[in-house]
Amino acid sequence: MRLSSTPENTATVTNPVIPGFHPDPSVCRVGEDYYLACSSFEYFPGVPVFHSRDLVHWTQIGNALDRPGQLRLPLDSPSSGGIYAPTLRHHDGRFWLVVTNVSGDGNLLFTATDPAGPWSDPVRLPGVHGIDPDLAWDDDGNCWCTTAGVGQVRIDPHTGETFGPTRRLWSGSPGAKAPEAPHLYRIGDYWYLLIAEGGTERCHGVSIARGPTPTGPFEPCPANPILTHRGTDHPIQNTGHADLVQAPDDSWWMVLLGVRPGGGTPGWHVLGRETFLVPVSWTDGWPVVGELSPSLPAPSWPLRPAPALPDRDDFDLSELAPHWVSLRHRPPEACTTKEKAGWLTLHARGGSLDDTDVTFTGRRQQHTSCRVRALVDAADGRGGLAVRLDERHHCAIEVSAGEARVSARIGPLNTVVASRPVPTGPVVLRIEVAAVHTVHDARTGPDTVTLGIEEPDGTFGELASLDGKYLSTEVAGGFTGRVIGMFAGAGAVHFDWFAYEPVDR
């Protein structure tokens, strides 16, 4: 998130506030501190947790689900499975997090006194059905859990017990599919039920209803949907899955997911669904969402820039930073900084990126143009750098036995694109992602992904270039975005450092 000024010296902020694959944001405020959690799907650790003092600058402070006892993702669970749509709330001196693990464990509830962790073991909610669970407490202390559909049941959040059958509440606009992402709030004299509808693609939108009690009856807002970019040429699309928060100055704000498609038709988004911020006002007891744009007026309070992710990790610490994620689990014997001091060592399990148990550790791509470099020693194995969307959509440059190879998997097609000899010993691998700003025809992709070797003099020895649309959600399907990282396909592969650099084009 960048802070800039117009010629009139009016401060603005740049959306998205949390770029890259950070969908389904849920936010709560405690005093002057804001906390936000996102979906993580098949990646471990799960549910990244962020902190901010101004709603604009966010720092990842941990992952709520960071041990196998909290997060079970079987090796045969599909990509875009796993952890869906957390709701994060603060109540009675504790933080509460409820999520759905669609890969086997259903709805789960966790608590913590510190949102940075540790978080509790899960409380299972077998009587809560559906995805996207929400938590809200009424004045009598009753806890209501509302899920996609939209259904609701009262629960004991300490034990997971449910009371009575699930009741249907309000299912959004007539004819709109997929009413989901419910959030229930007590604001003034009403209970408000905020939902997403229209599906999470181009028709996504946000609607709201209100009623006298948490169980309704609910009347819809006459201006529904209160936010959507469907049918427009707006640069931010798929807007939905929102959450509301009130600032200390009594202003209201909304966080939501959206995508930034690029290229020609139909437009391809590659970073996944990102977290955006938009102001909210109130008229006649209904929220009115301000203009959601890539640049919007800054909040009235002082902005507090947060530390950015480091451009380079030298793997000098005993544990990986929280922004590093792996696939489904991360056994210490497969991914460690303790085996070779100052290096990250990956031990192969699956033989390639096509396998669900491949040893892979990466970070989300957060910029439309970026450069990734790593010093790799594959004397004891085979591995390198990869851009991953899922098992059927990825590209990589790997080294072994004095040779570097670029491979690409696009659906059923899997091929070695190029190769060249390299000296024995450590070598710097490099990936350049360049956004395309000029559309030559309707088929022009959103970016190019170029893979190669960095020569001793620092020049880039390109081996192959791929049209980035083949590593997009519109091609691959699913709910995730690109993750760029390191992998081992055979034996042990050592990484001295990994550098991620945004490139302003």
**Is-contact 41 32, C-beta < 8 A?**
no
Question: What residues does 26 pair with on adjacent strands?
Answer: 37
The strands making up 295-297's β-sheet, listed across from edge to edge, are 3-5, 11-14, 295-297
Q: Which residue is catalytic, options 24, 377, 398, 432?
A: 24
Cis link prior to 279 (omega < 30° from 0)? no
Which long-range contacts (C-beta less than 8 Å, at least 24 apart) are formed by 183-188? 183/26, 183/87, 183/134, 183/136, 183/146, 183/242, 183/243, 183/244, 184/134, 184/136, 184/144, 184/146, 184/152, 184/214, 185/136, 185/244, 186/136, 186/138, 186/139, 186/214, 188/285
Strand, helix or coil for residue 322: coil
Q: Which residue is catalytic, options 42, 180, 274, 391?
A: 180
Strand, helix or coil for residue 132: coil
Q: Write the single-letter amino acid at 223.
A: A
- How many Cα atoms within 13 Å fall on the side-chain side of residue 195? 30
**Is-contact 503 371, C-beta < 8 A?**
yes
Burial class (CB in 10 A: 0-12, 13-18, 19+), 113: exposed
Question: What residues does 11 pair with on adjacent strands?
Answer: 5
- Answer yes or no: 180 catalytic: yes
- Answer yes or no: 24 catalytic: yes
Active-site residues, by number, are 24, 180
